[in-house]
């Protein structure tokens, strides 16, 4: 198992220690890090999906408001 060493502000350290008093702090930190990794991976996937949608839109046909209205009218009985 690896170890990490990060500096954090004293108020954060104190709040963490008080909040998680009596708990395995290594386990808490490990879980928080897993959650942070998953959150960042979701954010990256989201950004990539948005970029793909934008790229596809550049090549998609465009229609005027008149074209759209005509298609609506044509589809009505």
Q: Tens of pLDDT along 22-33?
A: 999 999 999 999
3-class secondary structure, 62: coil
- The C-alpha atoms of residue 23 and residue 31 are separated, in whole angstroms, by 12
Residue 23 forms part of a structural domain: yes
- The C-alpha atoms of residue 42 and residue 36 are separated, in whole angstroms, by 10
Residue 72 forms part of a structural domain: no
3 contact partners, CB below 8 Å, separation of at least 6: none
pTM over 0.85: no
Residue 42 forms part of a structural domain: yes
Residue 20: φ, ψ to 5°: -105, 25
Total domains in the fold of the chain: 1
Domain of residue 45, residue span: 10-59
- Dump pLDDT digits (tens) for 44-74: 999 999 999 999 999 998 899 999 999 898 8
Over 90: is that where the pLDDT of 76 sits?
no
Residue 74 forms part of a structural domain: no
Angle at 4 between CA 6 and CA 27, to 5 degrees: 105
């Amino acid at each position: 198992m690896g170890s990490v060493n990060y500096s954090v502000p004293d108020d954060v350290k104190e709040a963490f220690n008080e909040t998680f008093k009596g708990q395995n702090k290594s386990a808490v930190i490990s879980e928080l890090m897993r959650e942070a990794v998953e959150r960042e991976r979701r954010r990256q996937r989201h950004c990539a999906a948005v970029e793909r949608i934008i790229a596809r839109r550049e090549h998609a046909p465009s229609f005027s408001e008149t074209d759209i209205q005509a298609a609506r009218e044509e589809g009505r009985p």
